[in-house]
Every structure is written in C-alpha cells, then in structure tokens.
Structure 1
C-alpha cells in the first residue's frame, strides 16, 4: 500500500456527496476535511496526486454509464425511517401534514416564485439542503426504489410529482 504520509490509523476516503477526498480514522470514527496533525504533507501531496485526482479516479465526476443527477426537497414525518433532521430533532407531523407542506412548495415552484434548490436550502429535511438538495450522480440500485423510479422517469429540468419513500415525501428535480 502506498505511503500516504498520514499518521498511523488514518486513511483517505472519498465523499460521494461532496465529490472530495477527506481523512478518516476507522478506530476513532473521526472524519475531517483537513489532514490530521503529524501528517507528512510532502508525502500526502504525492499520494493524493497518484490516487485522488480525476486521472487516478476515472469516474471521479460521478458520471458513469446510466447515471443521472438530481436534487430533491424532502419533508419527513413521524413515520419516516428517521423522524429527525438538521432542522428538527424530533419530527412529529403526520404524513398527511408533510404532503400538504410539500404541495405548498410544489405550487411555489410551479408558479415560478422560487426554485426547488432555493427552497431546499431552508425547507428540506435532508442534509443535502446545504447543496440546494443536490444528490450528485447516481445509478440504478443506489436509491430507494420509489425515488429511483420517479427520478429516472424525469427529463433534465423536470420536477416530479410528490414521491413517497421510507424517508418521507419528496419533490425531485432531474438536473442531468
């Protein structure tokens, strides 16, 4: 294994959500964007050039055969798989209430008042909110089936009707 220059126990991993390398210590479960203290930065530069550049990672763009890129706006409810989010520690609304909220968002998007991405920043219960709901590129078998079916049925620029999954209710916009 190539010498990364990282202290013992640390490794370089690649974030699917941000499409960037990060540093991870499996023993302590610590992850960070900056190299840990005591890193040999000269060795790390060589290692990163060899293993974490687009040339070294042919699919670094995330664009593989049959992959699409979508953004979404998620509204969770109390029966969601994880009824909490960055916005609320405990989500208590019913599925019907979540659908009503999403219908109001859908009307604002359809009227041209706002975009799905702009709404996602403040209204989505997914951590992708900070990236305007952008989920990056994904292929078949990488998302929940209902989400995947709706996303792959869209043309670039199209926004789905409300889609229900175990995570909650979504509006999905196909970006690419």
Structure 2
C-alpha cells in the first residue's frame, strides 16, 4: 500500500480513544444529567451471548468457572488491588484497554441487570458479582 501520510487504522483508534472518547477522559467532559460513570471487569463463559474476546477466540469455560475466576478477582480487589489494574489484563471486554472504563451512561443504555447494579452503587463502591447476557461482571462506580 502507498503511504498516504495518514495514520494507520490502529493509530487512529488509539488517538481517538485517548483524545475523543468520553470514557478516556477524567475531567467529567461528556457527563450529562442523570448519567453515571463506571468501570467493570467482565468474565465471559460459553453461554455468554458472544463467547469470544480479545483474550480468547473461543471461550469454553462454564458460568460456574467464570464466577470462580471473578471471585478470585474480587479477593484481589478486597486486598487493595484496583479493579482497573486487573481489568487491563483479565477483562474479556474491549474496555480493558481503558482499565474497564465504560464512560458515562444513563438509564436504558446498558443491560438491565448491569444498570440496576451500577445505579445502586455509590461512587468508589464495587459491586458483587453481576450476571448479564454478556457474562459475569464486577462493577465499580467512578462518578
């Protein structure tokens, strides 16, 4: 391919994530009335709606195994490790590259089980295990 002088697709994605995605900003830009900001750690299982991730092309673990894995992460968080630091390498969500940060969202924008758990949290609080069609999550409310 000829060099057009434009950034490659990957460079563009990185640039956009760092400079234009509200989830990548820490200054509250993009926040609207009634919206909250959360990070999460997702472990998928074979019955998840899309049993693949950036970490594994074909996820074959059972839901029970996914819950056990998440319980181990929960213990690490309880011992002082941050959810975001664990998410970077362990989350099955593409938000892992942003320490699990999902940005701001309001009512009706997430799966009901996720939304119910997230809106019940106080800023800084981490949920227990939350099951959705995507898999099992730990959610931390940021704002």
| TM over 0.5, shorter chain | yes
Residue 63 in 1 paired to residue 18 in 2?
Answer: no
Distance (whole Å) between structure 1 residues aligned to residue 83 and residue 113 of structure 2: 19
Q: Which residue of 1 aligns with 2:3?
A: none
TM-score of the two chains, using structure 1 as the length reference? 0.66
Structure having greater relative contact order (Cα 8 Å, sep ≥ 6): 2
Q: Which residue of 1 aligns with 2:49?
A: 81
Q: Encode CA deviations 1:90-128: one digit per residue, 9 max, x unaligned.
A: 00000000000000000110111x110000000000000
Residue 72 in 1 paired to residue 40 in 2?
Answer: yes
Distance (whole Å) between structure 1 residues aligned to residue 42 and residue 93 of structure 2: 6
In proportion to residue count, which structure has more helix?
2
Listed as ranges, the gaps of 5+ residues in structure 1 are 1-15, 22-59
In proportion to residue count, which structure has more strand?
1
Residue 174 in 1 paired to residue 135 in 2?
Answer: no
Please give the root-mean-square deviation of Cα atoms over the aligned residues, in Å: 1.7
SS in 1 for 2:40: strand
Please say if residues 150 and 160 of structure 1, whose CA atoms lie closer than 8 Å, have aligned partners that are also in contact.
yes
SS in 2 for 1:164: strand
SS in 2 for 1:97: helix
Residue 95 in 1 paired to residue 63 in 2?
Answer: yes
Q: Which residue among 88, 93, 97 is the counterpart of 1:126?
A: 93
TM-score of the two chains, using structure 2 as the length reference? 0.81
